[in-house]
């Protein structure tokens, strides 16, 4: 009787082993696909949210859903993953919207230290720039998702429709509306990296020497300065508009000689930016919007919670 029972149990052991192997293989395949598309998925989430921390959370949520998918049922893994990350980002956008309502002072996107080669893809560099992310903030969440997927990642309307849960015709209308909205607000006269770099070098000289004239020479009459301290660090509580007001602000504020301050020209969000350190610690990031050779927007991020991605490069791709 014992012998028969042992013999009867023998087939079950290999079956369990095979089932375990299949499960491990499935996870390995899911992991391989996810890793292959991870930088793309991060870029989609970041452009929809303007927050690297929230984009990372969305990727984690996407992975948890992806690992449970039967890959044999997936025709196009890239499209399927983009669909998951888009839906998760849309959910997160609603949470962010409520968070921004109680945010102290202006809200600016979370800056990224990016590789120099990002600037070589002009469309990608523009799409992750601080200036463009601020324009995208003026869209409704569903419009933002459609614009990013269509204009930046060139998904077809059927793919976008599946991702956002709308009909292809509705997506076409949303894309048209979002495109017109962005076109009316995006920077006019695309600035070359050299023009942006020259403007930031003027900021850098002003910080290092206290000499403002070279900076004033590159500020547009209607320049807008925004700073984001998140209620944690000293920052502007509202936008400062106009060259006279911005000049006054710069003269009395940013470079007081109360600490050892250094300014480094780096690649921020696909273009030149300034990384500011005080006593060796990261204190903030400055990015600018340049139109027709003049600075029309200056963005100073000081909120410590938004500075975790400026000391190591973050990969963004299309």
Q: Is 114:133 a contact under the CB 8 Å cutoff?
A: no
Give residue 260's pLDDT. 80
Q: Is the pLDDT of residue 299 over 60?
A: yes
Give residue 192's pLDDT. 81
DSSP at 51: -
Calculate the average pLDDT of the chain.
88
Give residue 208's pLDDT. 79
Locate 111 and state its tokens.
């800056």
Per residue in 229-258, pLDDT (tens digit) is 999 998 989 999 999 999 888 877 655 555
Q: Would you tell me how many other CB atoms lie within 10 Å of the CB of residue 135?
A: 20
Per residue in 103-120, pLDDT (tens digit) is 999 999 999 999 999 989
Locate 204 and state its tokens.
């850098």
Element (H, E) at 96: helix 77-101
Give residue 94's pLDDT. 87
Q: Would you tell me how many other CB atoms lie within 10 Å of the CB of residue 257?
A: 7
Q: Is the pLDDT of residue 293 over 90?
A: no
Q: Is the pLDDT of residue 7 over 70?
A: no
Q: How many DSSP H helices and E strands does the chain contain? A: 12, 6
Q: Is the pLDDT of residue 11 over 50?
A: no
Element (H, E) at 268: strand 261-268
Rounded to 5 degrees, φ, ψ at 213 are -60, -45
Q: Give every strand in the sheet of 281-291, ordered side by side.
A: 240-241, 219-228, 294-301, 281-291, 271-278, 261-268
Q: Which long-range contacts (CB under 8 A, 24 or more apart) does 52-61 make?
A: 52/110, 52/112, 52/308, 52/309, 52/314, 53/110, 53/305, 53/306, 53/308, 54/92, 54/96, 55/89, 57/92, 58/85, 58/88, 58/89, 58/92, 59/85, 61/88
Give residue 81's pLDDT. 97
Q: Is 48:90 a contact under the CB 8 Å cutoff?
A: yes
Mean pLDDT calculated for residue range 135-156:
96
Mean pLDDT calculated for residue range 58-74:
94
Distance CA 117, CA 124 (A): 11
Q: Is the pLDDT of residue 63 over 70?
A: yes
Cβ-count burial 19-37 (b if 16+ within 10 Å, e if not): eeeeeeebeeebeebbeeb
- What torsion do the CA atoms of 267, 269, 273, 279 make, to the nearest 10 degrees? -80
Locate 116 and state its tokens.
């120099």
């Amino acid at each position: 009787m014992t012998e028969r029972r042992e013999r009867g149990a023998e087939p079950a052991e290999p079956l369990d082993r095979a089932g375990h192997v299949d499960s491990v293989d499935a996870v390995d395949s899911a992991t391989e696909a996810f890793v292959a598309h991870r930088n793309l998925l991060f870029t989609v989430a970041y452009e929809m949210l303007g927050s690297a921390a929230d984009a990372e959370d969305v990727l984690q949520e996407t992975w948890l859903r992806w690992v449970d998918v039967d890959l044999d049922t997936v025709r196009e893994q890239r499209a399927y993953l983009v669909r998951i990350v888009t839906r998760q980002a849309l959910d997160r956008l609603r949470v962010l919207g409520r968070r921004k309502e109680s945010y102290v002072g202006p809200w600016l996107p979370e800056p990224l230290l990016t590789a120099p080669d990002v600037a070589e893809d002009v469309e990608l560099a523009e799409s992750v720039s601080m200036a463009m992310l601020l324009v995208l903030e003026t869209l409704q969440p569903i419009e933002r998702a459609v614009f990013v997927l269509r204009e930046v990642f060139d998904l077809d309307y059927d793919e976008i429709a599946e991702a956002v849960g709308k009909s292809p015709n509705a997506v076409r209308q949303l894309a048209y509306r979002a495109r017109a909205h962005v076109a009316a607000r995006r920077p006019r006269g695309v600035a070359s990296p050299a023009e942006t770099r020259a403007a930031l070098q003027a900021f850098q000289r002003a910080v290092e020497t206290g000499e403002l004239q070279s900076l004033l020479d590159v500020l547009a009459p209607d320049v807008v300065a925004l700073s984001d301290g998140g209620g944690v660090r000293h920052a502007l509580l509202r936008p400062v508009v106009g060259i006279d007001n911005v000049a006054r602000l710069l003269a009395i504020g940013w470079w007081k000689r109360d600490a050892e301050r250094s300014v480094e020209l780096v690649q921020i969000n696909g273009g030149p930016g300034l990384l500011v350190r005080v006593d060796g610690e990261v204190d903030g990031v400055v990015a600018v919007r340049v139109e027709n050779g003049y600075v029309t927007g200056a963005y100073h991020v000081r909120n410590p919670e938004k500075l975790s991605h400026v000391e190591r490069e973050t990969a963004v791709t299309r």
